[in-house]
A and B are shown apart, each in its own frame.
Chain A
């Protein structure tokens, strides 16, 4: 077992011999570009900029960089992904506004994390299944699931009447619980393959704070022990409500994987090209039967934790401003314009589309219907009990 685990540490993505540095899972990386590090260095540990190696193909200024192991050849798809990100941001800002107007009970914004989520979602194959936490709105939108179900959940209309469970499981509010489910699901994929490569994998999203939970550490452990086809996608957005990532971990998060015996890798989470390249690599090796991987997508929660939160209590404007300079959408737009893949007219068209989409989102809220109490009674069990039937009747009697 030990030997098998040691072997999977070498992510031999292209059949080449890679350097053996266990801290990077065998892959060596260019450090943060000078432009990135410069903006951040004076901001203290809360920014989490420990200078660790990180895969980056597109820097904050929109400039392409070569990487020894990862590339992004098919740039023609990128305008469509920029659209994914812009529409996700529009959706997110509409939902935030709807909460302010009392239409939603709560909203956890994904603002700033669009590249991490779109890059990861675009790496999923038809047979892969995503296990989100509660902030993965851009994943849900990119995969084309109805956004109405996100609004219904956070409006408090229903408890998760979720379409598309075979693509994206429903949101998880208990920190880290989904990592075990994704691992078990992957174990099932592996069993189904009966010794052949599973040819499918799970991609599970969790936060930086979640890495402290026992469940998450046990998921890493089970994944390693069974060599399961699961990819842990940790969005290190630097904060768990008011707690900085430095409170959760003394080492860069991707290095947690070392101790469990599978590769961990840090990627610039605001660079959709790099996120996609790294996630594709991790999913492909999982599908081939080479086991789990941990991706730390290094990003920033640009908004509040949720609409109930007040970040001015615990973080500085300087920090938020520095991260605004690393905005994932701006850099992609800059790059695509420089490459003549889009122009101002294209962007104006996207802007108009986003505005229309915003109107659709607002209209969709008005159309949402609340679940009935009767349906809640009916869904507690697959086979309702006589006792619950009686309580349902009792409740109906109270209304009469």
Chain B
């Protein structure tokens, strides 16, 4: 039995061990082991040159990581909280995302940017963001989000092995909960979706922290619901999404992010374009609202809840 945080830690450990070119950099990741302790013990094991406590400057962290990559390193960046990635947004979007393109394939960007994301921990402002759509909207970036410990352990290693920049979103409210065991090998490729629970009546599509919420909803529901863990947000594993929805004929997307132009919008659009005649009901979305993330004491009213999901299921099945 392990936790999601421990599982990423052991995945990072294995990656550092396997390849001397792998480096970790970020704020407070060395001596402290990160504010969530995800990198705990790694500086002790691999030294200050490979697990780097960086100055407090996100743009600098990502920008210098790009330079290290040009020099042949594979760099894993930790952004301390989702809300603090924005100072680095320029380096990510105008530089990391385009380098392969701008060099006509001569310079890849084997960078992983780990970001704890999502709400549910009762935090103050800027500590509960769901910024995935910004990154999915940027050509050149790949975006993944594990939902459980075993996936997190394997996906972090796959992301580090990837020749492209990967935004690695970690569901922070699931970090320290008991997370099951780590499978002996990767359950799927980095960009594969997975059926977390099979069912016949409707498909709940989710990623990161919302997968568990959907599993809870499936358990509570009178219907036989399928839960699809998207795992990869860019690219999306469309064949798996289509296969599931073609079977259940109904889809509900669940995301913590605000509604407008979230990943759920793309999922709904594509399902309507490509699967319109196989579906019995329009794709529904259960999302955050189009407001900045609320103060801690109101977050339960904002986050997709089991009740809101079940309500959407009812609407879908009565359509």
A positions within 8 Å CB-CB of B: 105-106, 153-160, 173-175, 209-210, 212-215, 240-243, 247-248, 308-309, 313-314, 370-371, 373, 376-377, 380, 387-388, 391, 395, 398-399
Contacts and interface: CB of A to CB of B under 8 A. Distances in A.
A313 B33 contact: yes
A212 B60 contact: yes
B259 to A, nearest CB: 8
Contacts of A391: 259, 289-291
Interface in B29-53: 30-33, 35, 53
Nearest to A158: B295
19 contacts: A105-B123, A105-B124, A105-B296, A106-B124, A155-B296, A155-B297, A156-B298, A157-B295, A158-B295, A159-B294, A212-B56, A212-B57, A240-B27, A241-B32, A242-B31, A313-B32, A371-B294, A373-B301, A387-B260
10 smallest CB-CB distances across A and B, nearest first, come from A156-B296, A242-B32, A212-B55, A209-B56, A212-B57, A156-B295, A212-B56, A156-B297, A105-B296, A242-B28
Nearest to B260: A387
B5 to A, nearest CB: 15
Nearest to A211: B56
B292 interface: yes
A380 B122 contact: no
Interface in B106-133: 122-126
A344 B302 CA distance: 54
B80 to A, nearest CB: 8
B297 A370 contact: yes
B28 A388 contact: no
Nearest to A161: B295
A373 B301 CA distance: 8
Contact of A308 (B30, B35, B299): B35
Contact of A173 (B28, B33, B126, B296): B126
Central interface residue in B60, B84, B87, B124, by most chain A CB within 10 Å = B124
Contacts of A155: 296-297
A108 B291 CA distance: 26
A377 B289 contact: yes
A59 B291 CA distance: 50
B53 A154 contact: no
A370 B297 CA distance: 7
Given A105-B122, A174-B83, A174-B84, A240 B295 contact: no
A157 B297 contact: yes
Nearest to B289: A391
B19 interface: no
B193 to A, nearest CB: 29
Interface in B58-82: 59-60
Given A214-B59, A247-B53, A371 B31 contact: no
A156 B289 contact: no
Contacts of B122: 105, 156
Contacts of B27: 240-241, 243
A170 B25 CA distance: 32
Given A159-B292, A214-B87, A308-B35, A154 B298 contact: no
B59 A376 contact: no
Nearest to B59: A214
A242 B53 contact: yes
Contact of B56 (A156, A243, A314): A243
A173 B295 contact: no
Nearest to A156: B296
Contacts of A214: 57, 59-60, 87
Contacts of A158: 295
Nearest to B127: A173
B308 interface: yes
Contacts of B124: 105-106, 153-154, 156, 173
Contacts of A174: 83-84, 86-87, 126
Contacts of B311: 398
Contact of B28 (A241, A248, A395): A241
B292 A380 contact: yes
Contacts of B57: 212-214
Contacts of A248: 55-56
A309 B27 CA distance: 14
Interface in B228-251: none
Contacts of B307: 398
A376 B55 contact: no
A243 B57 CA distance: 12
Nearest to B125: A173
Contacts of A314: 31-32
